[in-house]
Structure 1
């Protein structure tokens, strides 16, 4: 992915955060430089969310490789499932006891931690090597011209689909418009195929539908204006909910979807990985999790962007997504920065890219991208005309949670499209 392709895209997460405000937490101030173990080594506690293979193995291998080259340092890995991580980090943020090095999606959550004085400003310490990374990958972690986390990946959300099940239903090509998408759902149902796998219990996968529809109808500029005004009650956002409602009316999801998680033997990823559903709307990590939670469907797995909406202001090439990075608590050991430099080097990044784990972030590892699934997402990103950060990360936590909760209620039939927009607006204005 040439850097020039990335520079064409607008990354709106940072701008929307500023528009919605933040919650002020008490600052922990500078803490000590880190603990030592019984061997006298400096301990860097590293919280990550790599719970599936090969990521879990690769992260551990990189930690060991660094320890081998730096025998006076111990990298203590703490690996948590996505939702458990969010819950525990929220609790630690409230008590001002963040880990030395921890995963972040940037946006609103990181902005709160920054404003509370809990996170290290990395601008100067990474200056010698940060330009080795793809420019747009850093945007979600920058506030007022300063960098507060180092990106490790970038990606986007789209539809993963089962080519064999599409063929069974007589569908020749993936849909490109919303009306075609609804027709695709109908054809799959008529063929006895579950059209869409959804983790209703986890809520955030359902949010992707409303968010993308809002993007397609309001456009990325409309999303930004709504965030800055703290007002999502406009017609475009109501229409997004109405489109979600018309999809739900077709009963496209698997039996028991409201109680299904993303991972686990009966979760969304397993439904796709075991060939029991034709589609899921998910990010670039989907193939890896599908294979880990199910059998995997091999060459039958395909990818297509979220369809455009007829009459909408947004383009079909606007992408909803984000990435992940690592931030440091205020006063974390200096070895934490050195480890990040090692972890994001071209050599290290190439290993992760070749394993099919990440889309390249280091400019020197671009040639390592051979995985067809990640390349499909990379191609979508390269062709993108606009970019919106995940809503539950772009906005302050309370707003992101309300979006997840309200859209989940819409999908469950307990909230109307209008009620969804009013609820989100009410929480946004309270921030």
Structure 2
């Protein structure tokens, strides 16, 4: 395997623990007619779209690009999310990186840039940067420089089974946390498992604490905590208490602590098979449900995370993010040129057409035909503010501590107070 190399850079293992036919463009270096552009080059591309519908779409685009650029070979490594994180961590410890690789932006990407692994592509994409929607691009702009480009944007919310809600006598999605708790009890009384959760994966659980922190303390409190490296805010303790209130009801499927997300017996499959009424997940949830189990069809609905009574956060503030790609520090010009190719409006429309991702390129919004995608897009369009996943927004070690501590809170082995203390101690040790 050929990877770009920046010399031996010693990184802590936590640094990279992170928790789709148009012209390539006449102005791109790799598409020029220079002799240098015709030299044989290999582009190593690592992504996490290792299942349908996106994997075959990107395979086809890589083949199309290589046919138009015979001097370029694109080697694709498609990995499951957690496998990607582990593999990326291993190669990064030797100061290596693929030429193009999955990123979610934020603090993780910042540390990659600081370590010399990710390339500043501000100048490289200058001719087409303005085709990307500002909200989608924000997570990849760090200190005035751009280190990645998005291919998807969306938000986390509750996906729910309308038929199971009806069976439990629930006539409308809950708008407040109190209503949500009552609905959990109604579902249990009807013999229905309220929630599906991948306890082993940990990152899905952090969505609960993050949203509760947003609703109770407000987005500014999370930003201040990151700046001061102190999360020992009474409002964050309250958020943990709210989550403990939920966990104490034992609302998750049997064996959730050992469940992964996208396995045949994992969170998505439990939801898709109708064995749980809800899952808190991002815009990709329907696709993974279908791939691992069944398509719930018209029975699948979506609603935003409820407001918390008396909280300081707005009910219209959204939490989530999207996938993107960073470029290895020593990647050939063809790497950026290929990103331009797959993000051309024509190709992006093909990606959107799978129903697996939402638009990041201006003028492609009408390509969203999937009703589930429209539900998320409409909710996101009404959002008043936005918070990136905490395990990506914060430095990697801090994000991992959030995931670990929240998992322990849900399992009943850590208190709300201990959660904020552990996160604070990790932040202050960075």
The equivalent residue for 1:325 is 324
* Aligned counterparts of 2:40 and 2:194: Cα–Cα separation in 1: 53
The answer to whether the 8 Å contact 2:9/2:94 transfers is no
Matched residue of 1:153: which SS?
A: coil
Give the corresponding residue for 1:212: 211
2:322 alignment partner, SS class? strand
Distance 1:71 1:315 in 2: 52
**CA offset at residue 41 of structure 1?**
3.8
Within 5 Å, give how 1:39-50 maps onto structure 2: 41-50=40-49
Q: CA deviation at 1:88?
A: 1.2
Residue ranges of structure 2 left out of the alignment (5+ in a row) = 1-7, 12-29, 31-37
Q: How many Å separate the matches in 2 of 1:113 and 1:264?
A: 29
In 2, the alpha carbon distance for the partners of 1:183 and 1:387 equals: 27
Q: How does 1:23-422 map to 2 (within 5 A)?
A: 41-422=40-421
In 2, Cα distance between the equivalents of 1:425 and 1:296?
A: 41
Tell me, what secondary structure is at the counterpart of 1:277?
Answer: coil
- Residue equivalent to 2:424: 425
Find the residue that maps to 2:419 and give its secondary structure. helix
- Which segments of 5 or more consecutive residues in structure 1 lack a partner in the other structure? 1-23, 28-32, 34-38
Query: How far 1:208 moved relative to its partner?
Result: 0.4
* Mapped partners of 1:76, 1:271: distance in 2: 34
- What is the root-mean-square deviation in Å for CA atoms of aligned residues? 1.5
Which consecutive segments of 4 or more residues in structure 1 shift more than 3 A? 24-27
Measured after TM superposition, the shift of residue 331 of structure 1 is: 1.4
Q: In 2, Cα distance between the equivalents of 1:400 and 1:176?
A: 28
Structure 2 counterpart of 1:18: none
Which residue in 2 is equivalent to 1:8?
Answer: none
* SS of the residue 1:183 aligns to: helix
- Secondary structure of the structure 2 residue equivalent to 1:375: helix
Matches of 2:9 and 2:307, distance apart in 1: 40
The offset of 1:93, in angstroms, is: 1.5
CA distance in 2, matches of 1:361, 1:65: 22
CA distance in 1, matches of 2:70, 2:379: 42
Could you tell me whether the CA contact under 8 Å between 2:101 and 2:325 is conserved in 1? yes
- Cα distance in 2 for partners of 1:47, 1:352 equals 17
Greater Cα offset, 312-321 or 60-69: 60-69
Conserved? CA contact 1:198–1:262, under 8 Å:
yes
Q: C-alpha distance in 2, partners of 1:168/1:26?
A: 56
Separation of aligned partners in 2, 1:134 and 1:91: 33
Deviations 1:147-170 (A, max 9, x none): 011111111000000000000001
- Is the contact between residue 197 and residue 267 of structure 2 (CA under 8 Å) also seen in structure 1? yes
Does the 8 A contact of 1:25 with 1:112 survive in 2? Answer: no
